[in-house]
Amino acid sequence: MAISGMTGFGRSDGAIAGRRWIWEVRSVNGRGLDFKVRLPGGFEALEPVARDAAAQRFKRGSIQATLTIARDAEAGGGASIDHAFVSKLLDAGAQYTAEGRVAPANWSDLLQVRGVLVFEETSEDVAETRAAIEASARAGIAPAFDALAAARAQEGRVLAAVLEGVIERVETLTAAAGGHAALAPPALAARLQERLAALA
């Protein structure tokens, strides 16, 4: 019977409609099958699909699946800078900069602030984009869990090799001990009787 490990990691990713999605699935030891999933808002329909994928492949382990979705930096287009918001940020930090408490702001820092870059999309675009991302991410569930199953199988092979080594060592020691008459139960009992007699 093949031994399966319980720890491992699986990943799948893809890009569609200017977004990049990543599934990351981790597993650690657990008595039964405990499954948790973290999804971005609006993608809750993927939870039962991920749960089924876990149940089909595993019987034990504490498994956590996480879906991350981000705008694909290579997609470009549709972005503008909220100049009013940038001005507010600079004004808010001006006093701290003048007092020498913080360094002056630079563009690379400002662009990391949520709301500085504005992506203009209509509600229709958002709905179509969400549907496309959901379909693509749904297709990525099985590969992520397959990768986790492969990692756990590899851990199982390593554990099996270790256990085989231990069993062989025990068998070798048992055979060696069997060859020593002084360690046989009757011989041990006789020696114990001799010592007890000497104490009497």
User: Are 51 and 141 within one domain?
Assistant: yes
* Residue 116 pLDDT: 74
18 lies in the same domain as 115:
no
Q: In terms of domains, do 58 and 137 share one?
A: yes
Same-domain check for residues 13 and 48:
yes
Look up residue 190 and give its two tokens: 């006789």
User: How far are the Cα atoms of 10, 40, 54, 58, 130 from residue 151, in angstroms, in the given order?
Assistant: 7, 26, 14, 12, 31
Cα–Cα distance, 25 to 67 (Å, whole number): 9
* Amino acid letter, 153: A
Q: Can you tell me the distance from the alpha carbon of 13 to that of 35, in angstroms, rounded to the nearest whole number?
A: 20
Would you say residue 166 lies in a domain?
no
Residue 137 sits in the same domain as residue 114: no
- Check if the beta carbon of residue 60 is closer than 8 Å to that of residue 3: no
In a domain, 197, yes or no: no
Is-contact 27 152, C-beta < 8 A? yes
Q: Is a pLDDT exceeding 60 seen at residue 108?
A: yes
Same domain? 114 vs 149: no
Tell me which residue range forms the domain holding 96.
Answer: 79-119
pLDDT (average), residues 56-76: 84
Q: How far apart are CA 146 and CA 131, in angstroms?
A: 24
Could you tell me the pLDDT band of residue 120, with boundaries at 50, 70 and 90?
Answer: low
Residue 145 and residue 64 share a domain: yes
- Considering the domain boundaries, does residue 18 fall inside one? yes
The verdict on 59 and 147 lying in the same domain is: yes
Residues 111 and 91: their CA atoms lie apart, in Å, by 16
pLDDT digits (tens, 9 = 90+) for 129-152: 889 999 999 999 999 999 999 999
Same domain, 38 and 56: yes
Handedness of CA 112, 117, 123, 127 (dihedral sign): negative
For the segment 34-48, what is each residue's pLDDT rounded down to a tens digit?
Answer: 999 999 888 999 999
Q: Measured between alpha carbons, how far is 50 from 26 in angstroms, rounded to an integer? A: 13
Confidence of residue 122 (pLDDT cuts 50, 70, 90): low
Place of tokens 């499954």: 35
What angle do the packed helices 141-178 and 47-57 form, to 10 degrees?
A: 20
- Note whether residue 195 is domain-resident: no
pLDDT tens digits, 13-28:
999 988 899 999 999 9
- CATH number where 21 lies: 3.30.230
169 within domain boundaries: no
pLDDT of 181 above 60 = no
**Number of domains comprising the chain:** 2
99 and 44 co-located in one domain: no
Q: Which residue has the higher pLDDT, 110 or 140?
A: 140
Q: What is the mean pLDDT of the chain?
A: 83
Instruction: Tell whether 2 is covered by a domain.
Output: no
In this structure, the strands spanning 19-28 and 33-38 are: unpaired
